[in-house]
Amino acid sequence: MAAIGSKRQRFVGDGNDSMRVTSLVRSLVELPYVAKDGTRVHPSPGSVASSRVAVQTDPDASTCVAFVASGGGVWRHAVPFAGGEDVAEGKEAMLKPTTVSDGVTTCVCAVRHRHEIQSIALHDPRTGRGRDLAAGGEEATFSRLASADASGRCVVTRLSREDGGVGERSDALDAPMQWFLNPEPPRSPEVASVPGWTGACFDPRDPNVVAVARRHAKTVDVFDGDRLVRSMRTPLQPSALCFVPSGDGRDGSLIAVCEGNQLSLWDARAAERGGCVRRVTLCNRGQSLFAVAAGASQGARGGGAVAFPKLKPGDPLVACAGAERGVHVLDVDRWSVVKRWPGAMKFDITQLAISSASPDHCYLAGVDYELLCGCWARGALAGGFAFRGDSRWLGVAAASGGQGRDIVAGWCESGHLFAARVERTPHEDARDENPAKRARNED
């Protein structure tokens, strides 16, 4: 990876924007786990495809508020970016985080699971376009947190956005509302007794709609509140899922599911083929997909200065990655591969998030300690960045930090949370950041 610095600057000034880290902090999440000898116990490991981090939106991008899960509990960790604004480059052009001690960890007492939580998802009213924003008032001040454990049980909790609803509530009016999404009774009792990965995601158009995927049961259940709307059975074991807003004028949203080496698209309203709308094989046999994310194309203004011929601005996109170490981006309307980024990382990719500030850029993390930001439209780092954690990643999430900014957080097995504030820099400004190189080019 000695060429990261050169790859990062390869396309800067060639029309595309760069992603600049304005603050990078490393903060310890204080979990109440202590061994008999008094030493601190690390978080629970989870499965390979588990993602147990959710980031809250902050229009000012002054503080990173992240929810993390370990064992059967969820904690809220808030750390300001003020202590890590001096970002320096280390060996191999890797960014060096600043260790801070002003992070505040509080327990979300309303969330309790008997089994290990495998994934969490957060619906923030400041970024959603569903009923929360339409209602306004009280509903707009609450977030919804979905936590799914290894037994297949999912709990949706409504939390106060300001304090996360971390304390015990004695007043019934102030108590957080909860929905318990229990799986459908399986056909085989042997399958029900096998714990495994379970994922959950919110519909961005309607926060009451939640999809829950269970690996060993091979099911994708769609809930509206606490009511089971549809249970769809996948041929292969699912490993990741996300909602994809349809771009052809339909009211409903589609669900993209990673099954083994295939990516499938599901519609809870379709009766044909059990609800499966499309299916495509992306990896070789034996190489599974572990991460999926949805976004929308912005054409040449997406940050990479790349306009695909058959892709219009506003068309929905799905990006997925896995053991093949590459990123696959598909056009949902045509269900065709728009771009492939082979060899994006050195090891298997288990975490993927699309940037909201620059949709042509994505955040990747794998089974090693590295987290990088690159441009999938160009298939290279292309003005991105990279830094390393101190242990294996347990989850990576990104949220909007205001106009042209992202908040990215990753939680490591050591218990440390790495939070970065990323700012999209226009290519004219990126070119001016290196006056020495510009002078050489002018000569």
Helix (H), strand (E), coil (C) string for the chain = CCCHHHHHCCCECCCECEEEEEEEEEEECCCCCECCCCCECCCCCCCCCCECEEECCCCCCCEEEEEEEECCEEEEEEEECHHHCCCEECHHHCEECEECCCCEEEEEEEEECCCCEEEEEEECCCCCCCHHHHHCCCHHHEEEEEEEECCCCEEEEEEECCCCCCCCCCCCCCCCCEEEECCCCCCCHHHHCCCCCEEEEEECCEEEEEEEEECCCCEEEEEECCEEEEEEECCCCEEEEEEEECCCCCCCEEEEEEECCEEEEECCCCCHHHHEEEEEECCCCCCCEEEEEEEECCHHHCCCCCCCCCCCCCCEEEEEEECCCCEEEEECCCCEEEEEECCCCCCCEEEEEECCCCCCEEEEEECCCEEEEEECCCCEEEEEEEEECCCCEEEEEEEECCCCEEEEEEEECCCEEEEEEEEEECHHHHHHCCHHHHHHHHC
Whether the pLDDT of residue 386 is over 90: the answer is: yes
Say what the pLDDT of residue 84 is: 86
Say what the pLDDT of residue 140 is: 63
Q: How far is CA 308 from CA 89, 207, 332, 335, 373, in A?
A: 34, 32, 14, 15, 21
Number of C-beta neighbours around residue 249 at 10 A: 5
Whether the pLDDT of residue 168 is over 70: the answer is: no
In the structure, what pLDDT confidence band is assigned to residue 163 with cuts at 50, 70 and 90?
A: low
**CATH code for the domain in which residue 416 is found:** 2.130.10.10
Q: What is the mean pLDDT of residues 52-58?
A: 93
Q: What is the mean pLDDT of residues 180-200?
A: 74
Say what the pLDDT of residue 139 is: 55
Whether the pLDDT of residue 141 is over 90: the answer is: no
Q: How far is CA 56 from CA 62, 174, 223, 243, in A?
A: 12, 21, 23, 18
Cβ atoms of residues 333 and 315 within 8 Å: yes
In the structure, what pLDDT confidence band is assigned to residue 427 with cuts at 50, 70 and 90?
A: confident
Say what the pLDDT of residue 193 is: 59
* Spatial distance between the Cα atoms of 119 and 241, rounded to a whole number of angstroms: 11
Range scoring the smallest mean pLDDT among 166-170, 315-319, 341-345: 166-170
Q: What is the mean pLDDT of residues 57-61?
A: 90
In the structure, what pLDDT confidence band is assigned to residue 190 with cuts at 50, 70 and 90?
A: low
Residue 12 amino acid letter: V
Residue 430 amino acid letter: A
- What range defines the domain where residue 348 resides? 4-442
Q: Show Cβ contacts of residue 265 under 8 Å, excluding neighbours closer than 6 positions.
A: 244, 254, 255, 256, 257, 276, 277, 278, 279, 318, 332, 335
Number of C-beta neighbours around residue 164 at 10 A: 24
Q: What is the mean pLDDT of residues 266-288?
A: 88
% of the chain exceeding 70 in pLDDT: 82
In the structure, what pLDDT confidence band is assigned to residue 165 with cuts at 50, 70 and 90?
A: low
| Domain count within the chain | 1
- Our CA dihedral for 45, 49, 54, 59, rounded to 10 degrees, sits at 140
* Spatial distance between the Cα atoms of 387 and 370, rounded to a whole number of angstroms: 6
* Spatial distance between the Cα atoms of 86 and 170, rounded to a whole number of angstroms: 44
pLDDT digits (tens, 9 = 90+) for 67-96: 999 999 999 999 999 988 899 888 888 999
Number of C-beta neighbours around residue 205 at 10 A: 16
Whether the pLDDT of residue 265 is over 90: the answer is: yes
In the structure, what pLDDT confidence band is assigned to residue 189 with cuts at 50, 70 and 90?
A: low
Q: Show Cβ contacts of residue 358 under 8 Å, excluding neighbours closer than 6 positions.
A: 17, 19, 302, 303, 304, 406, 424
* Spatial distance between the Cα atoms of 72 and 150, rounded to a whole number of angstroms: 10
* Spatial distance between the Cα atoms of 394 and 414, rounded to a whole number of angstroms: 10
Say what the pLDDT of residue 38 is: 66
Who has greater pLDDT, 134 or 332?
Answer: 332
Say what the pLDDT of residue 36 is: 65
Say what the pLDDT of residue 188 is: 56
Q: How far is CA 92 from CA 85, 343, 428, in A?
A: 20, 18, 25
Across the chain, mean pLDDT equals 84
Cβ atoms of residues 74 and 108 within 8 Å: yes
Distance of CA 126 to the CA centre of its chain: 17
